[in-house]
Amino acid sequence: MSTSARPVIGLDDVTVGWNGVQALSGVTGTFLEGSLTAILGPNGAGKSTLLKTITGQLAARSGKVTIHDPFRGGISLLPQISEIDRSFPITTYDLVSMGAWRRVGAFRRYDKGERQRIHEALATVGLTDKSRDLISSLSGGQMQRALFARLIVCDAPVMILDEPFTAVDEGTCDLLLQILLGWHREGRTVLVVLHDAALVRECFPQTLLLARQVVSWGDTATVLTDANLDRARSLALGGF
């Protein structure tokens, strides 16, 4: 990541809460272009809330989220797999093809180039033979692969992923991690909510340690100290 990298997402004293519960308090900082950032923290730390606030699904009670030009409109989100309605009767191919909607619209026919992107994405995640299966028939790992394929088709400059490796087998985790690291090598900005501190130390150069407020944000080696982790645990309910 260049020291002159442009700001992509700015957070200015962002506070989020509802029904008298404060989920995030005074979060301030900037995600830079080309950065690969893990968002880590105890259960109840507000990690998913932060992603939903950045992507506009939740409104900040105070403070401001800024998506800087030219990245406005160029963000793709992989939600937690538990938030996907898998009873909806669509095929794996249809799910992956949704990644092209920003370019072609929801109801226009896909040209040869778009269809090729979809087939290549399915091949990348090893789901070519599942393309015509309903998503309700996919295993958890296969469903996560399909969601990654949708992101590949979307081809956005900013990728935001919420717990992408939860409840998947080791082989799927390794494959999806390599895809994610490939996006970083291509210069995309990638934000990932994770629970595995060892994985973060090994693969993620930047970390935001969150406990309903910023505990530490910066180079991973500097952020993930025993003192910071202990402070995060004391500030948020639950544990890693």
pLDDT at 104 over 80: no
Q: Which pLDDT band holds residue 86 (cuts at 50, 70, 90)?
A: confident
Q: Where are the domains of the chain?
A: 1-74+190-240, 75-155
State phi, psi for 220 to the nearest 5 degrees. Answer: -60, -45
- Check residue 20 and give its pLDDT: 82
Q: Which pLDDT band holds residue 21 (cuts at 50, 70, 90)?
A: confident
* Bridge partners, residue 162, by sequence: 193
- Check residue 1 and give its pLDDT: 60
Fold classified for 1-74+190-240 = Rossmann fold (3.40.50)
pLDDT at 167 over 70: yes
- Check residue 240 and give its pLDDT: 54
All residues at 6 or more sequence positions from 99 whose CB lies less than 8 Å from its CB, including other chains: 76, 118, 121, 149, 150, 151, 152, 153, 154, 155
Beta strands in 68-172 (DSSP E): 75-78, 158-162
Q: What pTM does this model have?
A: 0.93
Write 204-208 long-range contacts (CB < 8 A, 24+).
Answer: 204/36, 204/37, 204/38, 205/1, 205/35, 205/36, 206/35, 206/36, 206/37, 206/38, 207/37, 207/38, 207/39, 207/40, 208/29, 208/37, 208/38, 208/39, 208/40
Q: Which pLDDT band holds residue 26 (cuts at 50, 70, 90)?
A: very high
